[in-house]
Chains A and B, each alone.
Chain A
Amino acid sequence: MTTIENHDYDVLIIGAGGAGLRAAIEAKQQGLRVGIITKSLLGKAHTVMAEGGMAAAMGNVHSEDNWQVHFRDTMRGGKYLNNFRMAELHAKEAPERVLELEQWGALFDRTKDGKILQRDFGGHRYARLAHVGDRTGLELIRTLQQKVVSMGIDVYMECKVLQLLKDSNGHIAGAAAYWRHTGEFVTFSSKTVILATGGAGKSWKFTSNSWEGTGDGHAMALWAGSELIDMEAIQFHPTGMVWPMSVRGLLVTEGVRGDGGVLRNSLGERFMFNYVAPMFRAETAETEEEADKWYDDHSAGRRPPELLPRDEVSRAINAEVKAGRGSPHGGVFLDIGSRRSAEFIRRRLPSMYHQFMELAGVDITREPMEIGPTCHYIMGGVKVDAETTATKTPGLFAAGEVAAGLHGANRLGGNSLSDLIVFGKRAGEGAASYIAAGGGSGKFKQSDVDAAIAEALAPFDRVEGENPYDIQRDLQDMMQANVGIIRTGTELEFALSELDKLTSRVQNIKVKGGRAYNPGWNLATDLPAMITVSRCVAMGALNRKESRGGHTRLDFPEAVAEMGSVNFTQSSSDGKWNGKYQIEGKPIPKITPELKTLLEEAK
């Protein structure tokens, strides 16, 4: 056989979004040899889609804000399923991580006295999101990208990782990949690997995720022997576009509501007042008058119910549509045009203005937007150590959306960008200390590479077989219908049996054309991960017989106290995508008495 191109590193980072780039900066600053692999071009990762901001208790707008309140908000938003230590570290370190971005060129919007301006968002007690209009994700990725480039870090663009590689001791030793532009294979030998692959929303039909959100990192970690937790916890963002059909699912930032936008049904009612759960009643306004006072002066009234955590708002919209009070295209109305001046809207929400004007022909300064829930974020993911982001597989680390724990059962808006920079840095540190302690050989087994290549090439060899796009469409339709925002045991069992059928179909894919930049082939290599993740979500959802955060069961509509202390943990004993996975409920880490006091004070 021919020799395959290989590159050798101390730290190999898979994914070039916020977490991957921040990890690379840290590892490089510690003097390590760092390589980054991305499926797309540098600067195109899904981080650019983040709009509203990044949460950090800097107290620039409300001086009462501090890490304790941010910690409390994160835990409450996550329905206490969070890893408390991650929530603590995140709340404590986010301000420093945000400030450091300005040394690298970031330019946030400012307060009158020249500090970073912070904006209100759902579930955050104080205005806490550092932002740049409604394009904060772009600012974050550009800042990190430009820093990475100025440090001379190697970036392998349009390179798709097929599988993680291990050495004879079972420690991580690199990855096998292929170049999209040629279709040639390439290996990376490395002492450590950091997964920063983002989310998995592409398995649903209506999603805010790009083609990249296929759960590669979730799946590869599971195959490599790591554990996945909370996979049933999927965030359906309340406000995605619902029309035209071709952009259904496209995100409408929560900033619209933070800046005064309200939700109305077809009768014109601000229906969110009818959906305030008991745990949020004390701090939520009871009348429209009270809510409207709050925007200008947070002490004049309590919070508007439109700014409840995302899981609460999504369920409410779903219920209104089901009750026949939806908009013409099956959503509800989000109105800011009647509440704020056109000049204000265009300055604060420029991308939203253009998005609706150009794609839907709707002028949001005059007309309401039609919106509905869209699959947005997976709270579940790879189980990691809070301090180092280490997974169960020695030498493998995970940060960002692919990792689980910080957000519990539901993520607060703005907490994901701050997650990326806090735990991205920690992943770089974690990898560095693993290497300093003598870990990592970088000696992978050639037979694993050969097997990965053979599997990738199989769809070319078949004489007949299915178009991968047909399988993807059926998977998305099936997951949308059976593992969506509201779930039942019967539907979840049906989903698992359908996944068995889809698994067989993936094994019978026929790819047309050559290997160079062939999207059909690329999709064929994505499908095993998509199936793995879909199965884990359905399995987790079937086992969690209660409703909590981003997991709602029609047949178990209430939260069950005992389940609040359990992470459903999934693992694979044979490491095969088409094999069987194991699931068990494991106790969540026990919170320290000091932090517990913080939560109890809030109740």
Chain B
Amino acid sequence: MSDITMRVWRGDSTGGDFESYTIERNEGEVVLDVVHRIQATEAPDLACRWNCKAGKCGSCAVEVNGKPRLMCMTRMDTLPEGPVTLTPMKTFPIIRDLVTDVSFNYEQAAKVPALLPPPMPVDGYRMFQQDVERSQEFRKCIECFMCQDVCHVIRDHEENKQHYAGPRFFIRHAELEMHPLDTNDRREYVREEAGLGFCNITKCCTEVCPEHIKITDNAIIPLKERVVDAHYDPVAWLGRKIRRKTKTSATEAAVQPAP
């Protein structure tokens, strides 16, 4: 078989450049296999993240020819002829080569108010399949953070990271909001703290999701509708003015001891 050329971005936070590696093509290989062969021969210090190599852990997301992909699930023979370009995810600061600092996502995760369920009956909760399925879709998320990478709200506007959680955490909020056991009201939190209003539904996140989660249609739009119902409905607004909230708010719940 013919050779392939990989153009790989090498460098760190101070700068870097592309380096080309020409390597024999093997049948059935994915991009990660080729990177591994480069590591094992020419460049043992080429930095990339990976774990499961089966599309289940979401570690190996990089931009392949400018589009975020899991290297372990991208077959070489599905890419167009010619050199293949590998760059780190653009939205996050670079650590080295293809490895980025994704701590933004872990900071967002720490802010999510925990599930607040009612006390568990001795023999466990009763939930029905049709009721758990909505949240189960969002729990398929493997946290590859490619949806965060393509979201132009933070990809092109670094300053927005301070008040925008991003698609990964909108599905997390949606998962909890739709969770059969959750007693929190998260709508105000999602509007105020997570910056849901910044999203203008361009569906870039949905397009790149390797788990095919319908991020926009099934999580973001329903969340926006719920927020609108709660916040901008004049009757609800009046109700809030007149009486104290009776439902636990998510921000209060965050400090309550979970079970």
Contact = CB atoms under 8 A, between A and B. Distances in A.
A39 B59 CA distance: 12
A113 B127 CA distance: 8
B42 to A, nearest CB: 10
Given A246-B26, A469-B39, A517 B142 contact: no
A40 B117 contact: no
Contact of B52 (A46, A467, A470): A46
Interface stretch (A73-81, A85-93, A380-388, A518-526): A518-526
Interface in A220-247: 243-247
Contacts of A147: 114, 258
B44 A468 contact: yes
A21 interface: no
B: interface residue count bin: 35 or more
B140 A135 contact: yes
A512 B29 contact: no
Interface stretch (B129-137, B153-161, B192-200): B129-137
B28 A181 contact: no
A518 B102 CA distance: 18
Given A41-B49, A210-B53, A519-B46, A107 B136 contact: yes
Contact of B59 (A40, A104, A146): A40
Given A48-B52, A150-B114, A517 B96 contact: yes
Main secondary structure of the interface of B (DSSP, over half): loop
B109 interface: yes
B110 interface: yes
Contact of A511 (B44, B50, B56): B44
Contacts, number: 183
A519 B47 contact: yes
Interface in A103-132: 103-105, 107-110, 113-116, 132
A462 to B, nearest CB: 14
A548 B91 CA distance: 53
A244 B29 contact: yes
Contact of B114 (A58, A146, A520): A146
A: interface residue count bin: 35 or more
B132 A107 contact: yes
Given A46-B52, A49-B52, A181 B101 contact: yes
A251 B123 CA distance: 34
B24 interface: no
Contacts of A43: 57, 143
A138 interface: yes
Interface of A: 40-46, 48-49, 58, 99-100, 102-105, 107-110, 113-116, 132, 135, 137-139, 142, 146-147, 149-152, 157, 181, 210-212, 243-247, 250-251, 351, 354-355, 358-360, 467-470, 473, 511-514, 516-521, 523
14 contacts: A46-B52, A48-B56, A104-B115, A107-B136, A107-B139, A110-B132, A138-B142, A147-B114, A244-B28, A246-B29, A251-B54, A511-B44, A516-B95, A521-B45
